[in-house]
């Protein structure tokens, strides 16, 4: 009854929480491994800093970590090569986990940006994930955007992440400085010369991917105003949901400030899709974003129509969602962009269940849903694990547990009777960050933030390493 969970974000902690609460057995061990040195995944490195309420789930994760049967090991990379900027991670092979654990759960999320075929890598483009990782000080340390040389930013996509980025660019730094925004990020935002942000969507307002809450925050910014939309776009069809009708109503009302009366402006460009980026004309510094007008076909798909006028812009930020990295298993499906899984269980290429191997959250389903969706999926997967451990679960867990277990993958195997010992020796001898170490860093970040009048001031890895160990030999792992 020794469970390894790969990934340390919300899905991992929700799986652990459910297992620990369902299984009242002192022999149970739940160990979480994350290649990031700090826990909580997207909650720490994806949530917009001016949305601190979304991070309240970490209070629950602290309670999970207090269970003596739980361990967190940060700075441990399983299988795949570590991402850029994280060469300090301890490397574990999948075989290490197979030897030391009876059950394995992948909660690795979706950590790569979804790409647009028309937007090749260029000096004038930066993925939304890189921008978010910049303002959350992700350990991969993407280069900062040159905001002090830009005037116009074009976001491709109109999901909540796109609106988060627009809001960060358009909000006065004096408003942001009380939140969890690192000082180097604030310093660059104070020097920013960005004056306009376009948010480009291939469908219309009725199909907007953002929520009314995100839109409301954008239209109420103190120093920004929205370009009014054509009223013809905002007539709700009879089939409009309450949420859709509310969004159309907000768009019709427009921003609190009249367009053009503020230092910064923004616009929603509907029914447009990028076709490329042209270099700056001679004597200019801004490229041209090439666009096509779009229309919806009978199935509701966006189809390019006539060319639209090129848009002069300084930086293009595609914000089209996320995709998973090829996982450190033979069970990643490139066509799906995530692990092959059904009802919580990982499958091989022939559709057979891999015994005692599971996937939860975005690792299993792709990048969709909100935090509550992730929580419910993680609980369901944990119930499958509990069932396989012999714990009765009310109802028919995931629908077809008995049928699924009838046809098993014959080769990949976990250890049915792992010793109740430390994690793999490579981890026991390395500078991993356990949860008690993280709580020390957490408290210090909050203390430093209080001195600056803000929520917290974050540490990078080098600073956290010096704070925790100061270069002294360490023996971190305790049973």
Annotated binding site for NADP(+): 158-161, 202-203, 214, 369
Distance CA 383, CA 393 (A): 7
**Rg value, the chain, Cα:** 24
First to last CA, the chain: 15
Annotated binding site: 11, 42, 78, 158-161, 202-203, 214, 362, 369
Helices (H), 107-227: 128-135, 160-170, 173-176, 183-191, 212-219
Give the length of the chain: 479
Residue 306: its H or E element = strand 302-312
Annotated binding site for FAD: 11, 42, 78, 362
Which of 315, 318, 319 minimizes the C-alpha distance to 146? 315
Which of 342, 380, 333 minimizes the C-alpha distance to 11? 380
Residue 94 neighbours by CB under 8 Å, 6+ apart: 78, 79, 328, 329
128-135 and 160-170 helices cross at what angle (nearest 10)? 50
Residue 262 neighbours by CB under 8 Å, 6+ apart: 223, 224, 225
Which of 294, 84, 53, 70 minimizes the C-alpha distance to 179? 53
Which of 442, 439, 456, 375 minimizes the C-alpha distance to 16? 375
For residue 86, give both structure tokens.
Answer: 């994280």
Residue 401: its H or E element = helix 401-405
- Contact status, residue 385 vs residue 358, Cβ threshold 8 Å: yes
- CA distance to 1, 34, 41, 54, 223, per residue, from 61 (Å): 21, 15, 12, 13, 37
What values do phi and psi take at 247, rounded to 5?
-65, -45
What values do phi and psi take at 180, rounded to 5?
-85, 65
Helices (H), 179-241: 183-191, 212-219
Task: Specify the pairing of strand 353-359 against strand 103-106.
Answer: parallel
């Amino acid at each position: 009854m020794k469970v390894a969970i790969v990934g340390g974000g919300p899905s991992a902690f929700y799986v652990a929480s459910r297992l620990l609460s369902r299984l009242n057995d002192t022999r149970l061990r739940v160990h979480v491994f994350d290649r990031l040195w700090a826990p909580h995944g997207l909650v720490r490195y994806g949530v917009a800093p001016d949305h601190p309420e979304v991070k309240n789930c970490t209070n629950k994760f602290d309670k999970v970590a207090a269970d003596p049967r739980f361990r967190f090991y940060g700075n441990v990379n399983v299988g795949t090569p570590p991402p850029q900027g994280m060469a300090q991670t301890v490397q574990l092979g999948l075989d290490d986990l197979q030897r030391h654990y009876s059950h394995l759960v992948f909660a690795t999320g979706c950590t790569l940006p979804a790409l647009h075929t028309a937007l090749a890598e260029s000096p004038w483009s930066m993925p939304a994930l890189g921008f978010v990782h910049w303002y959350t000080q992700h350990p991969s340390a993407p280069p900062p955007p040159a905001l002090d040389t830009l005037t116009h930013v074009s976001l491709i996509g109109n999901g909540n992440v796109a609106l988060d980025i627009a809001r960060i660019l358009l909000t006065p730094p004096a408003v942001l400085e009380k939140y969890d925004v690192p000082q180097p990020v604030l310093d660059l935002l104070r020097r920013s010369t960005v004056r306009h942000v376009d948010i480009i969507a291939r469908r219309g307002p009725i199909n907007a991917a953002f929520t009314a809450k995100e839109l409301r925050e954008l239209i109420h910014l103190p120093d920004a105003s929205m370009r009014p939309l054509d009223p013809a776009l905002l007539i709700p069809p009879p089939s409009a949901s309450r949420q859709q009708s509310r969004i159309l109503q907000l768009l019709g009302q427009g921003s609190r400030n009249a367009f053009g009366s503020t230092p910064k402006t923004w616009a929603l460009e509907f029914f447009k899709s990028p076709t490329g980026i042209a270099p700056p004309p001679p004597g200019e510094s801004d490229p041209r974003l090439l666009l096509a007008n779009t229309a919806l076909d009978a199935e509701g798909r966006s189809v390019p129509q006539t060319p639209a006028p090129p848009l002069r812009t300084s930086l293009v930020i595609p914000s089209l969602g996320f995709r998973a990295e090829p996982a450190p298993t033979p069970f990643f499906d490139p066509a799906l962009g995530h692990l092959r899984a059904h009802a919580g269980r990982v499958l091989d290429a022939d559709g057979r269940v891999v015994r005692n191997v599971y996937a939860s959250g975005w690792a299993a389903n792709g990048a969709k849903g909100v935090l509550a969706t992730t929580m419910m999926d993680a609980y369901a997967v944990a119930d499958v694990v509990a069932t396989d451990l012999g714990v009765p679960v009310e109802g028919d867990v995931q629908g077809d547990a008995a049928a699924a277990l009838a046809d098993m993958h014959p080769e990949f195997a976990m250890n049915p009777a792992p010793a109740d010992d430390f994690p793999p020796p490579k981890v026991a001898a390395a500078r991993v960050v356990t949860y008690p170490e993280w709580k020390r860093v957490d408290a210090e970040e909050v203390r430093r933030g209080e001195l600056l009048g803000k929520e917290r001031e974050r540490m990078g890895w080098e600073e956290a390493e010096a704070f925790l160990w100061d270069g002294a030999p360490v023996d971190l792992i305790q049973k």
